[in-house]
Amino acid sequence: MRLFYAVFLPEEVRAALAEAQTKVRPFRGWKPVPSHQLHLTLLFLGERPEEELPDYLALGHRLARLEAPFRARLRGTGYFPNEGTPRVWFAKAEAEGFLRLAEGLRAGVEELLGEEAVRIPGWDKPFKPHITLARRKAPAPRVPPVLFGLEWPVEGFALVRSELKPKGPVYTVLEKFSLRGEHGREQAQGPGERPEGD
């Protein structure tokens, strides 16, 4: 099964990005991502054997217990690659929390797979938090930058199965992981202290 970890977006952010996507809709060479599929990929796992699924679920739960919710920002759009013919039009996301989650997932998968992890497609590329808005499928012009100034709370992430179909990928959320930040809470309380109700 083809898997990835991702953060999905609240409705108001998806609505703002859908409005931005109207910039490329006049050009048939650009294929916009459907609004309900807009997401930020934390780590792509590629095709993995089904028997590994419990390990990826356990990794998500373990990391979510450690990391606290955070606020994310969207400032503007860009292209991959930045020079020459673009393949992807994206919205750039900002938050230290995205980096911590991506690094935590990467470290966990390296622990699970060992040297096999380097065979995952894109494993050697640096993490750049972004939301893909459209993919270029045929000749089409670049559109002018769009500025957002959006912020939203990130309270969790998900493990997603992606099935490639003729009309485009179909995403199925296999599990959601709520960020709890227990590691930071334990440090603030000091050893031996427990919150009420635990």
Q: Is 183 a catalytic residue?
A: no
Starting at the edge strand found earlier in the chain, the sheet holding 168-178 runs 39-47, 2-8, 156-165, 168-178
Which member of 36, 39, 61, 183 is catalytic? 39
Q: Which of 36, 61, 130, 183 is catalytic?
A: 130
C-alpha separations of 72 from 9, 14, 124, 185 in Å: 10, 14, 25, 21
Question: What CA dihedral angle connects 136, 139, 145 and 150, to 10 degrees?
Answer: -20
Active site residue 61: no
Cα-atom radius of gyration of the chain, to the nearest Å? 18
What's the CA gap between 102 and 176, in Å, rounded?
A: 16
Just list the catalytic residues.
39, 130
